[in-house]
A and B are shown apart, each in its own frame.
Chain A
Amino acid sequence: MQHKENSLVLIDASRLIIEGMACAGADSFIGYPITPANLLYLYASKRFPVMLPAPDEITTLQWMAGLSAAGKLPITATSFPGFALMIESINMAFMMELPMVIILAQRLGPATGTATCGAQGDLLLLRGLISGGHQIPVICLSDFADCWNLSAKAVHIANKYRTPVVIVTSKEMVMTQRSFDINLLEEINPVNRKFYNSEQAYIPYNPENNLIPEFLPLGNQKHQVRISASTHDNKGILQHTSDQAMENTIRLDRKIIYNLDEFTYYDLIEEKKADTIIVSYDITAASAREARELLKKKNINVSLLIVKTLIPVPNIYYEILARYNKIIIAEENVNGQLGKILFGEHKHKNIINIGSIGKMVSPLEIIKEVNV
């Protein structure tokens, strides 16, 4: 993006996230402020065509669902205590297949925890978010470029696959200021919203080949629209466990996985002779990148995988990791959540988790494990 004037500024990632999403076509923001998502809320209040302050987080998600059903692309930003209140309604939006994006800025838990301390403690929650074990896309931001590009992509994913999408980030990402050249930002394409426009009666949950049904907003003058959060057939009619309804419920699970290749995002640096790979995400990605650079200066070659599509887990991650004898996973929690998502509860000798709470994982902690 070319800005005429001098383009070196001191900014925080919250600004890039909100601007990126607005450029991508998100048109409304509903929210209730919570640390560390307050900057996102503040910027959203200036930037989105529609900004509505909700009295709580359940209302937030319900209003978003209403706006989405009426044809808008709504966004919110929160942290665990608010996110917890949203969960039933996120399930609703998932079942109804309503596009929206929820930004989850992680902070130290459990419960209220420490509002002004970062953490990466919500990944397991995100994996178990939907009753039935279905998955909604969870996209994680590892640096300022991601805050811009992937936040915009999240809006596209929500629209294209008719689903709520979670962007996961954390306090140290969204509240830290950095010197940054805004000329480095790539142009963002806005979503091209297409609604069902055939003359034939609209069947709201009748999937196309990619398992996604076409969308049509409530209130349109042409076709009746039926939307339901209860078990339903492809017409949106409540059913107990009819074949058609079960088919629809299974489709909801399959549609995300089926289209996963189209929203698989990661950074990979592979060193030819490397035996070890460092895996990280979110704020710890910076430490992992720095650790790799410091090691390289000492002629120690390690590979690096920064995962950005966290849920569902793309198969390519396993293909990459299978090439290494030692896997080091670094994240800011004490139970190795990404490790558990990737490899389950079973402890593998060649998989090492580096964790931390109350402070970021430092590059030196990662280097120590590489050198063991």
Chain B
Amino acid sequence: MKNILNTQELPFCKGCGHDLIAKSTAAALEKSGCSPLDIILVTDIGCHGIIDTSFNTHTIHGLHGRSVSLGVGISLGLNNSDKKVIVFTGDGGATIGLQHIMEAARLNINMTIVIHNNMLYGMTGGQTSGLTPQGFNTTTAPSGNTFEQYDICGLAHTAGASYISRILGIGNIADKLAEAINTNGCSVVEVIELCPGYGMKLNPKRKLAEILESSGKSEGIWTNNRLPFAVDIKEEPTSLLKNLKAIEIIDKPQLKSSYTVLLSGSAGEGVQTAANILAITAVSSGYHVTQKGSYPVTVGVGFSTAEIIISPNEILYHGMTIPDIAIITSQDGLNHSKKRINLMNNGILMIDSSLSAPQTGARVYNIDFRSIGVKSASMFSLFYFSEISKILPHAAIFKAIEQHGDAHKIPLDKIKEIFRFDVL
């Protein structure tokens, strides 16, 4: 079997802790019996990230701080626990991509994340990182870092990774890395190491074990007894065009040109449902139809408006400046549509009797839409629309209600009583 590494001359400064991590990771993979083509090494930006060319495995070198999420994508894509996804990141990448580590841990993705924590940003000049311990000297904190550091292992443990360890990057660490690599699910290893370029120079005589201890942390292993994430694959998803309720055409269009309807009320009055039923009614009566809704981002309060265009010809532009008929069931609806009602020179305004009609050139009808219950106000208004405009017959509306499948929510008996319908 091919070696995992293609060279022992790694591209780091002499004495850099990354050297030990790379060689130990390779040794751990070899010990675990992995062949290079079963391994995908995902690297980040930072000195440790240039290691990929020294590996005989598959390699992918991505963006700063994103190697963990890129690795998650690869693990999900392969969905094969025989493949080892090994992600390298630094202390800088770990804070840029903190969310990615949490997500990999929460989902317990099959992968191993090796955090090269040399406690400062090596590649960019030795600045303080989010994982720099208090009192540790960096180029931007020459008399000692004053910020509290993240406990990345604690966070990964809380988030749910199967296996988390913190180890000092000295001596034989291959076995410890192998333990992580052989874990089912997400394993996170934080290796504490020193950058001779900056860390060692700025903190002469300090030893790794002492630095770790004085930061209040220790080496250790933490586990969560969880199953690894498995991708749920739908074997035969149903076409989105299957099981659509086709609309039967039961009539010929009477209108010669397009007719525009504005339904405007409050959330909870069934405006969008009524609009949909009106649209189905119009289609079944042989028309081309467009239906668009408008409401604030909070769908449960405020105005709810729908615009329906009914046309004997194909509809291209589906905008509506001035409607042919405006149906207003509440104050919210009136406020939202007042400008357009003002602009109406003719046409019809049907407005709930509790409201006073704004200035308009439309013919005004005051109707108690809310008498059968606020929730059905908009639906109720469709029957008055049918009575007054004579465009769509009551029978077609009833049929559309049946088709829409919401018939049980509408007090059809009351409606029939009020209009003395003799249908169905």
Q: Which A residues have a C-beta under 8 Å from some C-beta of B?
A: 3, 5-11, 15, 18-19, 22-23, 28, 30, 35, 43, 46-52, 54-56, 58-59, 62-72, 88-89, 92, 96, 115-116, 172, 175-179, 182, 185, 217-230, 236-238, 286-287, 289-290, 293, 359-360, 362-363
Contacts and interface: CB of A to CB of B under 8 A. Distances in A.
Interface of B: 36-38, 40, 50, 52-53, 56-63, 66, 69-78, 80, 83, 99-100, 103, 231-235, 237-241, 244-249, 276, 279-280, 282-283, 287-297, 315-319, 321
25 contacts: A10-B279, A23-B239, A46-B238, A47-B237, A48-B234, A49-B234, A49-B235, A58-B69, A59-B100, A63-B72, A72-B77, A116-B294, A179-B282, A182-B244, A185-B241, A218-B78, A219-B58, A220-B37, A223-B37, A226-B52, A227-B60, A230-B61, A289-B316, A290-B316, A362-B321
Given A68-B77, A72-B77, A224-B36, A178 B290 contact: yes
Nearest to B84: A219
A219 B74 CA distance: 9
Majority secondary structure of chain A interface residues (helix, strand, loop or mixed): mixed
Given A63-B76, A221-B37, 4 more contacts: A62-B69, A178-B289, A218-B78, A363-B317
Nearest to B293: A175
Given A175-B293, A362-B321, A11 B244 contact: yes
A41 B75 CA distance: 22
Contacts of A11: 244
Contacts of B58: 218-220, 224-226
A9 B74 contact: no
Given A8-B283, A9-B246, A178-B290, A55 B99 contact: yes
B293 A179 contact: no
A10 B283 contact: yes
A56 B248 CA distance: 43
Contacts of A220: 37, 58
B361 to A, nearest CB: 19
A62 to B, nearest CB: 4
Contacts of A218: 40, 58, 60, 74, 78
Contact of A59 (B50, B83, B103): B103
Contacts of A88: 63
Given A176-B292, A362-B321, A224 B57 contact: yes
B96 to A, nearest CB: 10
Contacts of B239: 19, 22-23, 47
Contacts of A228: 52, 59-61
Given A10-B280, A238-B50, A92 B103 contact: no
Identify the 6 closest CB pairs spanning chains A and B, nearest first. Answer: A66-B73, A70-B77, A62-B69, A63-B73, A6-B246, A67-B77
A286 B316 contact: yes
Contacts of B235: 49
Nearest to B50: A238
Nearest to A112: B297
A317 B36 CA distance: 50
A67 B37 CA distance: 17
Contacts of A224: 36-37, 56-59
Contacts of A178: 288-291, 315, 318
